[in-house]
Every structure is written in C-alpha cells, then in structure tokens.
Structure 1
Amino acid sequence: MTASPPQDIRPVLRVRDLSVEFDTHRGTVRVLDGVSFDIAPGEILGVVGESGAGKSMTGAAVIGLIDPPGRIASGTVELHGERIDTLRGEDMRRIRGRHIGSVFQDPLTSLNPVYPIGRHLVETIRTHLPVTEREARRRALELLADVEIPDPATRIDQYPHQFSGGMRQRVAIALALCAEPELLIADEPTTALDVSVQAQVIRVFRRVCRERGTAAMLITHDMGVIAEAADRVMVMYRGRVLETGPVREVLDRPREPYTRSLMAAIPSVHRRLARLPVPEIGADPAVADALPPAAVAAKTPPGTPADDAAPLIRVQGLAREFDLSAGWLVRTLAREPKKVLRAVDDVHFDIPRGGTFGLVGESGSGKSTVARMIAGLTKPTAGRVLFDGIDRWGGAAQTAALRRRFQMIFQDPYASLNPRWRVDRLIAEPVEVLGLAGSADETAARVAEALRRVRMSPDDGRKYPHQFSGGQRQRIAIARALASQPEFIVCDEPTSSLDVSVQAQVLNLMRDLQDEFGLTYLLISHNLAVIRHMCDHVGVMQRGRLVEQGEAGAVLDAPQHAYTRELMAAVPDPRAVRVSSS
C-alpha cells in the first residue's frame, strides 16, 4: 500500500518497494519489505507502529544511514525525482544536512557538550551554504528565534547543558533546518518530554514545516503526537506498511485489525478502564479481530483501596534543598551569597495500602526527587516519610527492617540492569543482599517464581539483558523488584520509552500484580493518560510544591488549579479533532 499525497502535487520524497536486509550468521533477515510512500511539500507524514516494526529503519534507509551488514536489497528512494539510494560516500553526505535534515530522540547525542549552541549552528550553515562567518551567525540567530528560543542573542553563546530538555529539542530542530533542507526526518522527537514541553515542540515543528514548505517524516509510537502534528499517517508492522491515509480517517475509522488494536491499547485521559485490550506482541495482526473497535466500558478496577483504610505511606512536610553555590573560597572572594535551590517544598500526601498514587508535573517540578526521598535514595532536608508508622529516615535498626519492603522500578530498564550479568543473577541480587534466602536453591526458586509472575519463563534467567526487547527488559526490572516480595514499589516513568502495545502489556501486568499481591504503588509519569488508567489518587507538582491533589477522576476531569488545567490542555489526544493546522 502506498502512502500518497494528492495527485496534482509533486512529492518531495518518493519511496517505492523499499526492502532492507541484514546478512547474519543464521541467514538473511529482511527487516523492511516493499515499503512505499510519498511526502508532499509542507506535509507531515506520521509513521507509527510497535518496536521492531521498521519505522526507524525506514528513516535510516531514506537518509543513507544503514551500516553493514545491512543493505537496501531492492526498491528506490527519490528526492525531487532523483534517485538517492544509489549514492555513496561524499555524494550522500552532500545530500544529508543540505537537502535532508534529521532530528533525533535525544538532542544531547547530537549536540557536542563542549561547544556553545552558536558553534553548532554556524559550522553546519557554513558547511552547506557559501556564506561568511558573520552571515552564518545572523542566520543562526534567526533560526533560534524561529524555533522560539527566548533571547537568542544571549542563548547562542550558551552550552547544551544550560538548556532545558524541550529547548534542546528545539535547538536540534533549528540545527536540522540550518541548510534549508526540503525534507526533515524526526525520529521520536518528543518521547522523553513532559506534556507541556511536548506541546511546545509539536507546535514549533508544525509551524516551521508549514511556513518553510518543508516535507517531514515524523516517526513516533505516540498516537497523540500523530493526531496533533501529522497530516497523514502510515501504520507499519513487521517491516510492512499496513495502512495509510489522512490522520483523522485512520485514527477514527481504521480498516486494519492491527490499527484498531493499537488504538484500543491507548489509555484515555478521560476514562479509566479495568484493562487495556492489546494483542500479543509479534502475533499475527488477525488476532486483533477479537478486540472491539470501540472503547471498553469503564468499571471500577478490583483492588481499589477503601477510603477509610490506614495509609501505608504518609508523607509529611517533605522538603529538599540543593546547594548550587560555588566553593567557599570563590564565594568569599566574590562576596556572593549562597545559592540554594528548594527542589521540594512542604509536600504532604498519603498512599492507602493496596492503592496507587500518581505524581505528575513538568520536568524539574520535583517528582523524581520526592520519589527518591520516599525510596531512601535521597535524604530530605525537612519532613518525614512514614512507612506503616515507621520513619523511613529514622534509626538504622528501623530502616534496615524496612529495606525489603521497598523497591523501585526505573525509567530505562537497560540502564538499571548490569549488561554483564545474566538475568537470574540480576533478579537474585536483592534476595542475596537482603539475606532473604537460606540457600542457593531457595534463591533460584525465588528467581524462577519472580520470572513466572511477570509472564516470563524461568529459562529466560540464563540470558543477558541485551537479548530482550524493551518491554521484556521492563518486565525483568519488575521481576527484580518483586523478588524481595515488597509491599511498596516506586515506579519512576516505567513506560515512557515503550511503544503503545508494550506499554499496554506492562500496565496490565502491573495491575494484575497489584490485584494478586496487594502491592502499593507510587507512580511518577508525565503521561496523564497512564496516570488516569493506573492511579486511584493523583498529586500535581509545580516548582517543588504540590499544588493540587485528590481522587484521580476528580482532579483530571475538573481540575481546580490553573496549572493542572494547563497540563490537561497540553495533553495530545488521538481521539480529539485538531482545531488548528498550526
């Protein structure tokens, strides 16, 4: 199936029957199979699908970034009617940057930390355009203004670490636009951003494409971003194009069962479902036929705690300050006062036993700092964390007894799992450290049971983390947390890097485990739909303070604080009609 713009418009990019193969010791593996699509000037084509569907590989093939043993086995890639898939070396490098710009998921990987932003922009401009240093700097300032960087004359001489995540992503967009390319390829540009910053990046991305007439290929697993940013959408599965069309047509009336299953797997910010319907990852798309195309009727999830239950966790007046001052001698000579950042300020909330409390807010609001203080990783400046009436930061004898009752699941499972250790050793570590098993056989039994709880085989314990997908690695992280049989788990952005299908599986698993073992969760997330799906109560943080809290449905349906209303307004909703094309 070909994703095509209107017939009377000549496409900027035309891809026909593109196939990519990798030669391995087990034979040839085809990762793209007959992919065809067009992108018109000023149009944004959204490309969606689960991990391994071939989205990023398609972008890499277009821009010529497939390294051996990978190769384009067949098909053509044309830019303004001229084939570029046959170009190699310096010829292809002249196309990249000058005619095709790229925006990647993590801007820090494409920005040199020892160069100021201006040097990145000026060097790129002068590499591709015949202009002087002065003219290049003027263009760089204009680009920073175009992507809505405040005070570009000052910011141009600052370094990447002095920018927020959203501002770095906007700088990456400016960098991709330096040579005025005809095509932009953006690979997951908003994945790690909170909802307000994500909305800013989407707005800037749409505006620059519209004003400059730049064609764009937007690769993402977030259907909300597709609904907000794209003009057309292409759904991929196992290296093939399943369905294409105008964004509202595909999202509202999907033809393919797989697309319907993707839409059904998206949690809603407006309703809480007992479970998210989702087919097994890697199964044939026909398995989605059993899933209803419409939303499942909402019901109260089992295990919801009673309102009068005694809280398992009680947070009282929690505060944390960080000293950002220069050294004592430098401060004394310069006569500078101490610079103290109050990252968390007087936070109070309770978490009932068996319940889930969600913390939301933009980056830098203090969510993760609160989580680390509750988990015992960062000591509070003031306030108390009471676990079942025991002060988490009390005496050593008290806290030692609490260690096995707490666990934490981190955002990036690959970063939190030692790549040199087998999975069984990773899961056994907390059991051995806490002295919970009397023998090696008992430890092995606990590891096997933990793997079974997260729907994995005990045989998977003999493998290494790199041999698993992102969703499977997150399951391993959950199994590791469960091995010590905790009562309370802190979940810090556990699904932010997962695609829709895998996210649904992980959320269903967390709900099942909570119902089965009576677990209590603190869930940190910038995804308000995930918070609505999982949480009984929610707290909204802004600049270190808890500005609103209450029952999740009440807070998200009828927010009282202006900041909560801003967060809700910024949520990209795949089921909502985009009001403006800008």
Structure 2
Amino acid sequence: MSLLEVKSLDVEFPTRRGVVKAARGVKLEVAPGEIVGLVGESGAGKSTIGNAIIDLLEPPGRVAAGEVLFKGRDLRSLSEPEMRRIRGPEIGMIFQDPQTSLNPLLRIGEQLVESIQNARGVREAEAEAIALELLEAVGIPEAKARMKAFPHEFSGGMRQRVVIALALCGDPDLVIADEPTTALDVSIQKQILDLIQRLCRERQLGVVLVTHDIGVIAEIADRVVVMYRGEVVETGDTAQILGAPRHEYTKSLISAVPRADVKLHRFSSVDYIDGSEPTPKIDIRTHWLGAAREEKTGAEAIAVENLNLSFVLEKSFLKSRRRMLQAVNDVSFMIREGESFGLVGESGSGKSTVARIVAGLYKQDSGSVRLLGQEVHGNWRDPAEKAARRKLQMIFQDPYSSLNARMQVMDIVAEPIRFHKLTGSETETKQIVRDLLDHVGLGAAAAQKYPHEFSGGQRQRISIARALASRPRILICDEPTSALDVSIQAQILNLLKDLQEELNLTLLFISHDLPVIRQMCDRVAVMQRGQIRELAETEQLFTRPGDDYTRSLLQQMPRMDLLRPAAE
C-alpha cells in the first residue's frame, strides 16, 4: 500500500487577468522507505505540489481538483484543525532556506522543544531529551552545548541539519524536502543527502524530494517524477529516467547538466523550451565595447602574492583576548590574460574573500595584488589605480540582491559608463546600453523595466551587461549560477564563454560546483581554511589530483556519468 498517493491534482491561482493553472492532472505515489524525486525547473510546479499536499498553498492558491491520499485518507476532506494534527506528527517539511526557516530570536533548543511539545504533547523535560537525541541523530557535534546556540551561530550546512531535526520532531511517516541542498557546497551537500537517505532507511520514512538539481536526484532518489509547466511529463526509476529518458524535455534537461567526467566546448541548452538560447544581435568586435579588446599575449592579468586577511570574531581591549579568524592565509597565484582561473572549496574556505580583496571590496592585512601589472592598494584617488580598477568588474552570486530595485535597467547598466565618463553624450550612452541588453539576450525593451519584472536568469544577464559597461578586461564571477536552474545556468555559462572569446576577457571564476569548474576553467586552485591546497591545470586536477583534500572533494561529487553515454 502506498504511503502517499496524489491523483489528478489541479492547483490554480486566481488573478485579475484570469486563473493561472499551476499544476494540472499531477499523479504521484510514495511508498514507506522510498525517496521520490520531483524534478523540474523554476515554474514547473514542483514546490506547488509539495505545498498542496500539506495544504500550505499561498493565498489565493487553491486545489481545484484531485485527491491527496495519505495512509488511505483524503487530506482534502480534512478541516484545518485536523490538518494541523497531520502536519508535524505525521508529515514533516524541510524548507529550502534554513536561514529564514529558523527564528533568529530563539535558541535552537527552544525551537526544537516547542515543536516537539506541539507535535507530541509531552512535558518540557521529555521534549528536551528528544531534542538532544534529534540533534545527535542529524550529526550536530556537541549537541548539548549547541542547544543553547542561536541560528546565526551555525554554518549553512549545520542550519540545514537543524531544519531536518525540526521536520522529525513529530516522528512523521512522510517528509517533504523542498530544495534541501540549494547553495550548499559539495561536501555539505553530500552530508545532507547521506543523512536524508539514512533516516529514510532507518525510520522507513517516505520522502518527496523537490529539486532542480539532477545530480541530487541521481545520488539518492529511487524514482523520479519530471514536471514541465505544471504537468508530469515522465515518471520512472531513477536509472531509467536519467539513463534512457523518453520525453524530449527530460532529454534536454539532462543534457544541460554540466558533465564531471569529460570537458566539452559548450553547455547543452534545453531546446525544448521556447526561446531558450538567445542570439546576440550585434557584432561586438566592431562595437564600442570591442574597442577595449586586446590581443591575447599571455601576460599577467592578476597577480596575488602572500595575501593575508583576518576578521575579528570577538573584540577586546586586550589583544590577547581577541578572537580572530584567519580567512585568507598566505595565498599566492597568477592569472594570465585571456585565461579562466577557478577557485573552489567548501563554504568558509576563503575563496570569495580572496575575490573581494582582488576586487577592492576588502583590504588585506598584508600581501600584494597587481591588476594588469599595476599594484593596487585600495586608493581610488590614485589615477593609475583607478584606471586599473575600471578594467575589473564583478558578477555577484545573488541576482536578486545585487541590483538596485529602485532603478530602471537603463540606469543600472549605464551607471558604470557615466561614472567613468566613457562616452561623449547621454544619447550615445543609452544606445550602448540598448546594444548591451541585446547582446546578453534581453532585448532593448528591457531598458525601461525594473529588476522585479525579470526572472533570476534574466537578472543575472542584467548583471553581466552592467559588468561589461565599463569595458573591462577582467571579470570576477562569484558563484554566478548557483541559484539558477540547470537550463538557465547553461545559457549564462555559454554567454560568458562567448564573451570571453569575443573580448579576450580574463575570468576569475569562484564556485563550489566542480562540474561547472571543469567546463569553464583552464586552471584551478583548491582552497581550504584560507589556504591553497592544490593549484593545477583543470584536466590534471580532475584526473590526477595531487592532494588528499582535492580527492575528497572529487569523490563527493554527485555522479551522473555512469547513467548516460560518453561524449562523442
């Protein structure tokens, strides 16, 4: 007998312009001890289905038709008080963002105890004992001491473990996990996936794993349900779906996943989606932007020598009592013009801190940074340093917070041009902005819109256009695709490849996604605890790693190469 059975489920959202069908005729089954992956891109309806199962749809969303059978009972027929007795004690939920899922004003122990008492009706002392057991079960070290800690005192991976413990407070039979590993580095992702898999087997939990990450599905799912535009297009065993997909959309989706086993020239796009791969509209080599292009000489673009930076964790008048974190410890490397250089490592390894020092956002304690032969010290009043800084731009990780919500796209992209006085007139500036928006695949009409009118992938294209507006020779890309679907990621990475070739750009590429690093970079430096553990040519590092830590990271990558044919 199935633990959960969803039959012909329709979900709709009434709007002023009519009713939006978010899900149509969805069918889904989960057995005890089984992990079912619900996969698709943003807007496919997968999170909507997860919320509909436990009646947590955002108003005015509603289930228009179908059945949700849990242990043979139709959850749609239950009242709200009855559903509250189901949520927690019988169905747990792991939310995507642990930072917003936890109350920042309450200690971890208080949140667990409150949830356990609500779900099980036990006394406080017993709830505290259960909370301690759960923290130990999900792998929190020194669990008794960490009960008194606040959420901000945990790392991202540790917060996600706490969220899993919260989902288990009622000892449920079914858990819905909504993107539980998004934005986690490969080692933490591996730990979380192993934890979910172990709990599933030990407790005979049924798990609905909602994700857009095909690698996660390949790692732990028993069966896969593929959704596209609110409909289920394919269902089957994981090996069958990933190894021999039948539906064209599934084939395109899987082909767009960056490969870890071999380096390819370009990323595959999801051609099944209308308009998936924008075509540049201008000849960039003869355009204003191409005027800054220089021939590839192999000269030094970025040189970092003996870089050090510490952060104060706990202030004190007495230096001996201050608590310091050595974020960057004696880091040195050199990047040649036109090269793609990757920085990889776990969260907290120092890779983004190094990038921010190079970009001039942080000031190092010691060591030197040279850009195109010019040593920079963070002095914007120095004309030579200002000129060098203009030739470096940064694309940030989060496309939602890196754009000013109060500015139109025209002004966002034009700001670097105006700041550096790169054109002779406002008319010329506006035309250049329109050309840039065309070239990154948005179209000139996007100039009059605001950031909230775009999707995440489109916002990242705006960020790329803004970075290009100062005619840079160096681009720092700090996790530019970590929050994007696999197909949108493929488009953005192909765009960066094209721009690098057209403009001879130097790329410093920071990522925790090792397959992306293999496809994008010529050389890679592996960082751990502020130090570089290994620096090598990309293919050498992936095929013959010389450091134990590098080997450990590579072993923890989700493997899909065994499920699909080798590259031609």
TM-superposed CA distance for 1:116, in Å, is: 1.1
TM-superposed CA distance for 1:281, in Å, is: 7.0
**C-alpha distance in 2 between matches for 1:424 and 1:83:** 52
In the alignment, which residue of structure 2 is the partner of 1:261?
A: 252
- Deviation digits for residues 192-214 of structure 1, max 9, x if unmatched? 11001110000001001111111
For residue 548 of structure 2, the aligned residue among 552, 555, 562 is: 562
In the alignment, which residue of structure 2 is the partner of 1:326?
A: 315
Over the matched positions of the two proteins, sequence identity in percent amounts to 51
**C-alpha distance in 1 between matches for 2:308 and 2:509:** 19
In the alignment, which residue of structure 2 is the partner of 1:341?
A: 325
Cα 1:64–1:394, aligned 2, differ >3 Å: closer, same or farther? closer
**C-alpha distance in 2 between matches for 1:434 and 1:410:** 21
In the alignment, which residue of structure 1 is the partner of 2:230?
A: 239
For residue 167 of structure 1, the aligned residue among 158, 164, 169 is: 158
What are the equivalent positions in structure 2 for 1:93-242 lying under 5 Å apart?
A: 93-242=84-233
**C-alpha distance in 1 between matches for 2:2 and 2:160:** 27
Q: Is the 8 A contact 1:281 1:501 kept in 2?
A: no
- Deviation digits for residues 261-284 of structure 1, max 9, x if unmatched? 111111112211111121347429
In the alignment, which residue of structure 2 is the partner of 1:462?
A: 448
Q: What code does the residue aligned with 1:75 have? A: G
**C-alpha distance in 1 between matches for 2:80 and 2:142:** 39
In the alignment, which residue of structure 1 is the partner of 2:334?
A: 350
For residue 449 of structure 1, the aligned residue among 435, 439, 443 is: 435
Q: Is the 8 A contact 1:56 1:219 kept in 2?
A: yes
TM-superposed CA distance for 1:394, in Å, is: 6.4
- Deviation digits for residues 226-279 of structure 1, max 9, x if unmatched? 111111111110101011111111111111111111111111122111111213
**C-alpha distance in 1 between matches for 2:393 and 2:78:** 52
More deviation, 513-522/523-532? 513-522
More deviation, 356-365/25-34? 25-34
Q: What code does the residue aligned with 1:558 have? A: R
In structure 2, the residue corresponding to 1:416 is in which secondary structure? coil
More deviation, 470-479/79-88? 79-88
Q: Is the 8 A contact 1:42 1:210 kept in 2?
A: yes
Cα 1:204–1:58, aligned 2, differ >3 Å: closer, same or farther? same
In the alignment, which residue of structure 2 is the partner of 1:12?
A: 3
Q: Is the 8 A contact 1:117 1:158 kept in 2?
A: yes
What are the equivalent positions in structure 2 for 1:17-28 lying under 5 Å apart?
A: 17-28=8-19
**C-alpha distance in 2 between matches for 1:533 and 1:169:** 29
**C-alpha distance in 1 between matches for 2:552 and 2:91:** 35
What are the equivalent positions in structure 2 for 1:402-421 lying under 5 Å apart?
A: 402-421=388-407
For residue 309 of structure 1, the aligned residue among 289, 298, 304 is: 298
In structure 1, the residue corresponding to 2:384 is in which secondary structure? helix
Cα 1:33–1:178, aligned 2, differ >3 Å: closer, same or farther? same
**C-alpha distance in 2 between matches for 1:281 and 1:501:** 10
What are the equivalent positions in structure 2 for 1:459-498 lying under 5 Å apart?
A: 459-498=445-484
**C-alpha distance in 2 between matches for 1:359 and 1:103:** 31
- Deviation digits for residues 449-496 of structure 1, max 9, x if unmatched? 110121110001111212111111111111111111111111100011
Q: What code does the residue aligned with 1:315 have? A: V
**C-alpha distance in 1 between matches for 2:51 and 2:314:** 44
In structure 2, the residue corresponding to 1:14 is in which secondary structure? strand
**C-alpha distance in 2 between matches for 1:280 and 1:465:** 26
Q: Is the 8 A contact 1:226 1:574 kept in 2?
A: no
For residue 393 of structure 1, the aligned residue among 368, 374, 377 is: 377
**C-alpha distance in 1 between matches for 2:101 and 2:2:** 28
Q: What code does the residue aligned with 1:444 have? A: K
**C-alpha distance in 1 between matches for 2:517 and 2:262:** 11
Q: What code does the residue aligned with 1:375 have? A: A
What are the equivalent positions in structure 2 for 1:47-62 lying under 5 Å apart?
A: 47-62=38-53
In the alignment, which residue of structure 2 is the partner of 1:3?
A: none
TM-superposed CA distance for 1:74, in Å, is: 0.9
Q: What code does the residue aligned with 1:223 have? A: I
TM-superposed CA distance for 1:326, in Å, is: 2.1
Q: What code does the residue aligned with 1:459 have? A: A
In the alignment, which residue of structure 2 is the partner of 1:573?
A: 559
**C-alpha distance in 2 between matches for 1:442 and 1:193:** 43
Q: What code does the residue aligned with 2:302 have? A: I
**C-alpha distance in 1 between matches for 2:550 and 2:132:** 34
2:75 is aligned with 1:84: yes
In the alignment, which residue of structure 1 is the partner of 2:289?
A: none
**C-alpha distance in 1 between matches for 2:427 and 2:196:** 56
Cα 1:325–1:66, aligned 2, differ >3 Å: closer, same or farther? closer
In structure 1, the residue corresponding to 2:26 is in which secondary structure? strand
In the alignment, which residue of structure 2 is the partner of 1:299?
A: none
**C-alpha distance in 2 between matches for 1:403 and 1:26:** 48
For residue 369 of structure 1, the aligned residue among 342, 353, 363 is: 353
**C-alpha distance in 1 between matches for 2:513 and 2:394:** 19
**C-alpha distance in 2 between matches for 1:446 and 1:224:** 40
**C-alpha distance in 2 between matches for 1:443 and 1:373:** 30
In the alignment, which residue of structure 2 is the partner of 1:7?
A: none
2:536 is aligned with 1:545: no
What are the equivalent positions in structure 2 for 1:417-436 lying under 5 Å apart?
A: 417-436=403-422
Superposition CA RMSD, Å: 1.8
In structure 1, the residue corresponding to 2:470 is in which secondary structure? coil
Q: What code does the residue aligned with 1:129 have? A: R
- Deviation digits for residues 124-167 of structure 1, max 9, x if unmatched? 00001121111111111111111111121111121111211111
In structure 2, the residue corresponding to 1:20 is in which secondary structure? strand
In the alignment, which residue of structure 2 is the partner of 1:536?
A: 522
Q: What code does the residue aligned with 2:262 have? A: R
Q: Is the 8 A contact 1:281 1:502 kept in 2?
A: no
For residue 507 of structure 1, the aligned residue among 469, 493, 498 is: 493
Q: Is the 8 A contact 1:251 1:575 kept in 2?
A: no
Extract unaligned runs of 5+ from structure 1.
Answer: 1-9, 288-302, 578-582
**C-alpha distance in 1 between matches for 2:135 and 2:217:** 25
Extract unaligned runs of 5+ from structure 2.
Answer: 278-292, 564-568
In structure 2, the residue corresponding to 1:324 is in which secondary structure? strand
Q: What code does the residue aligned with 1:220 have? A: T
Cα 1:394–1:206, aligned 2, differ >3 Å: closer, same or farther? closer
- Deviation digits for residues 325-349 of structure 1, max 9, x if unmatched? 3232xx48xxx53322211011111
In the alignment, which residue of structure 2 is the partner of 1:297?
A: none
What are the equivalent positions in structure 2 for 1:284-299 lying under 5 Å apart?
A: none
Q: What code does the residue aligned with 1:81 have? A: G
**C-alpha distance in 2 between matches for 1:378 and 1:133:** 47
Q: Is the 8 A contact 2:260 2:561 kept in 1?
A: no
Q: What code does the residue aligned with 1:11 have? A: S
**C-alpha distance in 1 between matches for 2:233 and 2:171:** 32
- Deviation digits for residues 15-38 of structure 1, max 9, x if unmatched? 011111111121111110100011
TM-superposed CA distance for 1:512, in Å, is: 0.8
Q: What code does the residue aligned with 2:321 have? A: P
Q: Is the 8 A contact 2:252 2:272 kept in 1?
A: no
Q: What code does the residue aligned with 2:307 have? A: L
Normalising by structure 1, report the TM-score: 0.91
